[in-house]
């Protein structure tokens, strides 16, 4: 199968509308062709007139480790073109940035999760292009989490850089498809098109979204493998908790929690008691780690590792958002006074708790903190939102199978 960038490079007819145009590229380290050439090098080698480049969160080089670590603008040392940061002084491209090109090629590998900021960066680019009369092309790439949809939808008024609109946490779309939803939902008058993939089959084993013939390259520093991408719609919520998500280890965002003062074995037993059905589709394993930086740095942490991979993985049964909610709930039950929720600015939101910013509202936190809340209560909240989202985007899907 071929990604959008590969099709664009292989087909002169697809590139023909770019002739005589100034072209900008939005990219990161995973923006590579099938032979691992970076898209910037490949496009210029193909004769495309690339006049500027843009890097999202973590930068064009993917070198910024944590959230709210900004990247400066620079000039490419090889091609001499400006490289603008969309996670530095600005999040939205300025008119001066937009003036550097006529067509903007968006070639970012996504994780299929609302909170992954590349989704919001696409919206901001589309809005700026609509205002400035520019064209946006998404060079489509797989959603490695596949088509499953999970989580409550962001509620009106809870928008942020990790919540571009009323979508669930795990949205089931590619970025090309998401762009079509943005255009329709926000009523954008913009020249938008998708260079679609050839033969992407998100229900095909064993990758279920990620084709096994393509190697994995980190789209951000802590997105190290397919297991992380599958678990991320759940484990990312730990960023709003005092618990460690495994940053400072070799397997970040592949654990349900890590903490020096929590008994992982007891938490797992409580999870199995409270909602055993939410443990399906993966294997859970007790483990230990000592973060070299970030939360609980230098302390031995008891943890639970998620294995949504190999023979343990069931694509239709695995529900990472519910699994992570269940881990929080078990900790709250066993340690009623534990300060789970982290009170700090998150993605430049200073008033709301980080866990609420991440979830697009307080529903999940309220469920965790309510001693009377049941699994059925959370299923009812999320199930309605999941069904409404799936119905809303059904006509925008570009790929079957």
Q: Residue 287 is part of a domain; what is its CATH number?
A: 3.90.1150.140
Note whether 52 and 200 are same-domain residues: yes
Q: Count of alpha carbons within 13 Å of 293, Cβ hemisphere only?
A: 4
Confirm whether 355 is domain-assigned. yes
- Domain ranges, residue 297: 226-369
pLDDT at res. 327: 98
Neighbours of 335 (CB within 10 A): 16
Q: How far is Cα 22 from Cα 120, in angstroms, rounded to an integer?
A: 24
Note whether 70 and 215 are same-domain residues: yes
Confirm whether 340 is domain-assigned. yes
Domain boundary among 219, 244, 267: 219
**Is the per-residue pLDDT at 289 higher than 70?**
yes
Report in angstroms the alpha-carbon separations of 239 from 202, 358, 387. 28, 8, 27
Domain boundary among 219, 239, 255: 219
Note whether 289 and 251 are same-domain residues: yes
* Average pLDDT estimate for 266-275: 98
**Is the per-residue pLDDT at 61 higher than 90?**
no
**Is the per-residue pLDDT at 48 higher than 80?**
yes
* Average pLDDT estimate for 200-206: 94
Q: How far is Cα 58 from Cα 72, in angstroms, rounded to an integer?
A: 11
CATH number for the domain spanning 112: value is 3.40.50.12170
* Average pLDDT estimate for 328-354: 91
What's the total number of domains in the chain?
A: 2
The token duo for 347 is: 């993605």
**Is the per-residue pLDDT at 94 higher than 70?**
yes
Note whether 102 and 231 are same-domain residues: no
Note whether 171 and 312 are same-domain residues: no
pLDDT at res. 88: 81
Q: CA 391, 175, 318, 355 torsion: positive or negative? A: negative
Note whether 145 and 201 are same-domain residues: yes
* Average pLDDT estimate for 184-189: 98
Decide: 152 and 361 in contact? Cβ < 8 Å: yes
Confirm whether 165 is domain-assigned. yes
The proportion of the chain whose per-residue pLDDT surpasses 70, expressed as a percent, equals 97
Decide: 147 and 299 in contact? Cβ < 8 Å: no
What is the gyration radius of the CA atoms in the chain, in angstroms?
Answer: 21
Note whether 284 and 349 are same-domain residues: yes
The token duo for 318 is: 């695995």
**Is the per-residue pLDDT at 370 higher than 80?**
yes
Q: Is 189 exposed, middle or buried (0-12, 13-18, 19+ CB in 10 A)?
A: exposed
Most confident of 90-94, 171-175, 211-215: 171-175
- Closest alpha carbon to 221 in 62, 71, 68, 110: 62
Note whether 190 and 237 are same-domain residues: no
- pLDDT band, residue 29 (cuts 50/70/90): very high
pLDDT at res. 69: 61
Note whether 265 and 320 are same-domain residues: yes
Note whether 65 and 174 are same-domain residues: yes
Note whether 209 and 168 are same-domain residues: yes
* Average pLDDT estimate for 342-368: 91
- pLDDT band, residue 350 (cuts 50/70/90): confident
**Is the per-residue pLDDT at 67 higher than 60?**
no
**Is the per-residue pLDDT at 65 higher than 60?**
no
pLDDT at res. 70: 56
The proportion of the chain whose per-residue pLDDT surpasses 90, expressed as a percent, equals 91
Note whether 273 and 319 are same-domain residues: yes
The whole-model pTM stands at: 0.95
**Is the per-residue pLDDT at 186 higher than 90?**
yes
pLDDT at res. 89: 83
pLDDT at res. 56: 92
**Is the per-residue pLDDT at 68 higher than 90?**
no
**Is the per-residue pLDDT at 165 higher than 70?**
yes
Domain boundary among 202, 219, 236: 219
Q: What is the mean pLDDT of the chain?
A: 95
pLDDT at res. 345: 80
* Average pLDDT estimate for 383-396: 98
3-state secondary structure the chain: CECHHHHHHHCHHHHHHHCCCCEEEECCCCCECCCCCEHHHHHHHCCCCEEEEEECCCCCCCCCCCCCCCCCCEECCCCCCEEEECCCCCCCCCHHHHCCCCEEEECCCCCCECCCCHHHHHHHHHHHHHHHCCEEEEECCCCCCCCCCECCCCCCCCCECCECCCCCCECCCCHHHHHHHHHHHCCCCCEEEEECCECCCCCCCCCCCCCCCCCCCCCCCCCCCHHHHHHHHHHHHHHHECCCCCCCCCCCCCEEEEECCCCHHHHHHHHHHHCHHHHCCCEEEEEEECCCCCCCCCCCEEEEEEECCHHHCCCCCCCHHHHHHHHHHHHHHHCCCCCCECCCCECCECCCCHHHHHHCCCHHHHHHHCCCCCHHHHHHHHHHHHHHHHHHHHHHCCCCC
Q: How far is Cα 246 from Cα 101, in angstroms, rounded to an integer?
A: 40
């Amino acid at each position: 199968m071929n990604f959008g960038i590969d099709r664009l490079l292989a087909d002169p007819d697809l590139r023909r509308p770019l002739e005589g145009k100034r072209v900008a590229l939005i990219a990161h380290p995973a923006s590579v062709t099938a032979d691992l050439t970076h898209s910037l090098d490949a496009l210029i080698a193909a004769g495309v007139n690339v006049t500027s480049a843009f890097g999202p969160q973590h930068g064009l080089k993917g070198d910024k480790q944590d959230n709210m670590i900004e990247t400066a603008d620079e000039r490419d040392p090889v091609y001499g073109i400006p490289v603008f940061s969309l996670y530095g002084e600005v999040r939205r491209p300025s008119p001066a940035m937009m003036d550097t090109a006529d067509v903007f090629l968006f070639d970012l590998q996504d994780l299929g999760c609302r909170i992954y900021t590349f989704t919001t960066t696409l919206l901001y680019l589309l809005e700026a292009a609509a205002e400035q009369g520019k064209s946006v092309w998404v060079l489509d790439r797989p959603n490695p989490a596949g088509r499953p949809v999970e989580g409550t939808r962001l509620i009106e008024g809870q928008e942020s850089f990790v919540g571009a609109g009323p979508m669930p946490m795990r949205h089931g779309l590619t970025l090309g498809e998401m762009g079509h939803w943005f255009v329709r939902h926000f009523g954008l008058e913009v020249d938008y098109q998708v260079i679609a993939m050839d033969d992407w089959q998100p229900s095909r084993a064993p990758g279920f979204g990620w084709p096994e013939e393509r190697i994995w390259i980190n789209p951000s520093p802590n997105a190290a493998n397919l297991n992380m991408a599958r678990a991320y719609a759940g484990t990312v919520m730990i960023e709003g908790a005092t618990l460690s998500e495994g940053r400072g280890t070799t397997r970040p965002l592949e654990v349900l929690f890590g903490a020096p003062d929590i008994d992982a074995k007891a938490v797992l037993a409580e999870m199995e008691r409270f909602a055993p059905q939410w443990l399906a589709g993966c294997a859970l394993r007790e483990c230990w780690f000592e973060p070299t930086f970030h939360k609980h740095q230098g302390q031995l942490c008891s943890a639970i590792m998620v294995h949504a991979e190999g023979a343990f993985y069931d694509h239709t049964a695995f529900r990472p958002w519910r699994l992570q909610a269940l881990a929080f709930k078990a900790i709250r039950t066993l340690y009623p006074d534990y300060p789970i929720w982290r009170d700090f600015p998150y993605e430049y939101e200073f008033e709301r708790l980080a866990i609420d910013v991440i979830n697009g509202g307080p529903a999940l936190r309220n469920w965790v903190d309510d001693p009377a809340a049941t699994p059925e209560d959370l299923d009812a909240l999320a199930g309605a939102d999941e069904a409404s989202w799936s119905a809303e985007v059904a006509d925008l899907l570009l790929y079957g199978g």
